[in-house]
Amino acid sequence: MGRKRIVLINPVALFPKVMASQDRVVTMARALGQDHTVDIITLVRSARDAKLNAKELQSVCHAYYPVYAKNSTFLKRKIQGLLYVLSYIFLSTAKRYFYWGGKTTTRRIIEIIRKNQYDIVQIEHWYQGRIFDYLGGKTIKVLAVHDLLFEKKFLEYTHKYGLKIPLLRRRELKKYEALEKGYIRQADVVMSISNQDRKKLEKISPANRHITIPIGQDIAFFKDYPLQPDPKVVLFYGSLSSEQNIVACERVYRSIFPKIKDKISDMKLLIAGAQPPERIKKMHDGENVEVTGFVDDIRKPLSRGWLAIIPLELAGGFRGRVIDLMAMGIPVIGTHNALDCIEMDNGVHGYISDDDSEMAEMAVSLIKNATKRSELRGECQKFVSEKYSLDATYGKLARYYNNL
């Protein structure tokens, strides 16, 4: 009971921020630090990365510990790449587990944990779970589950290969699932980011303690930004370094957006998200489609959008980007996969459909109806303010840790 010493361990550096998961850890650490002593450990590739993160995290946490990745130089990356290929062929080792779970990396992290005698060790992904193997019984082991990654990987492979998944991929999936479930069961506390995920996780590990902590957001940061919505601008928003968002973006571009333009010819598609690959960059034509890439303040391009379309199909978990949009009062149209986790009401806070033609029709209707959009804007902002504020999420976690 009472104030705890907590360490949050993330598999990648937290700055520069290009993924929602990085922002989540930073925001969580800052919120937890009001009631607990919070340190952060991340992997880094260079002294420059370590220096940048030390500077940015100085006001976020009590102490920051960079750990250099084992593939931090060009030669080491080549050697590790070869070793990974061999490990994958003969042992079906998952890529993330191979690169993150090395003995040298794990040993260094365990040294930091033992030196500081943390009460709670929280890892952000199952493939960091090897750390749990070295912790004593007094340390509370927390696993934050963003998605059930074996399910996500299965969806990616079926999307790519159909029903004929190659033998090596099938072996990988089997081992991936076994490892992920094993580390979920090894945790003392399993943190879900949606109630959908929590139900699945409780079936996997009924003996664990479970808590749902959605991705919290500084609602006012987005809500108070001045909007300049253009009825002719449709948004797609998401980090474009992940296959799930790339596939969703392509779906908007190839299927949904053309159907909208058939009804309203002068519509424009604004694709906002960091690290777009070449196949997304090529969509940019400066007239009908704009691809922003990384921007210092994502609110600026988002503020131009009349509505957003998020037709995700390859992932589970929680859609933190949707909270950003709703906080700004931007109505969202998306698939069940994208929006069910938010627990929003269809037709009140936005629209849900898995059919591309229906999503296009919903968008056209909303573009032509400014009054309905205004109603949705107010309901969106009220909904996320009550359910996804920092106090409703990470404040809840801080109180939970206080009672352990």
Q: What is the per-residue pLDDT for 315? A: 64
Secondary structure, 3-state, the chain: CCCCEEEEEECCCCCCCCCHHHHHHHHHHHHHCCCCEEEEEEEECCHHHHHHHHHHHCCCCCEEEEEECCCCCHHHHHHHHHHHHHHHHHHCCCHHHHHHCCHHHHHHHHHHHHHHCCCEEEECCHHHHHHHHHCCCCCEEEEEECCCHHHHHHHHHHHHHCCCCCHHHHHHHHHHHHHHHHHHHHCCEEEECCHHHHHHHHHHCCCCEEEECCCCCCHHHHHCCCCCCCCCEEEEECCCCCHHHHHHHHHHHHHHHHHHHHHCCCCEEEEECCCCCHHHHCCCCCCCEEECCCCCCCHHHHCCCCEEEECCCCCCCCCHHHHHHHHCCCCEEECHHHHHHHCCCECCCEEECCCHHHHHHHHHHHHHCHHHHHHHHHHHHHHHHHHCCHHHHHHHHHHHHHCC
128-147 pLDDT, tens digit each: 999 999 998 899 999 999 88
pTM metric for this prediction: 0.86
Residues of the chain with pLDDT under 50: none
Q: What is the per-residue pLDDT for 222? A: 95
Q: What is the per-residue pLDDT for 159? A: 87
168-197 pLDDT, tens digit each: 999 999 999 999 999 999 999 999 988 888
Q: What is the per-residue pLDDT for 293? A: 94
What CATH number does the domain located at 5-216+390-402 have?
Answer: 3.40.50.2000
Q: What is the per-residue pLDDT for 242? A: 86
5-216+390-402 and 219-387 in the same fold: yes
How do the domains of the chain map onto residue ranges? 5-216+390-402, 219-387
What CATH number does the domain located at 219-387 have?
Answer: 3.40.50.2000
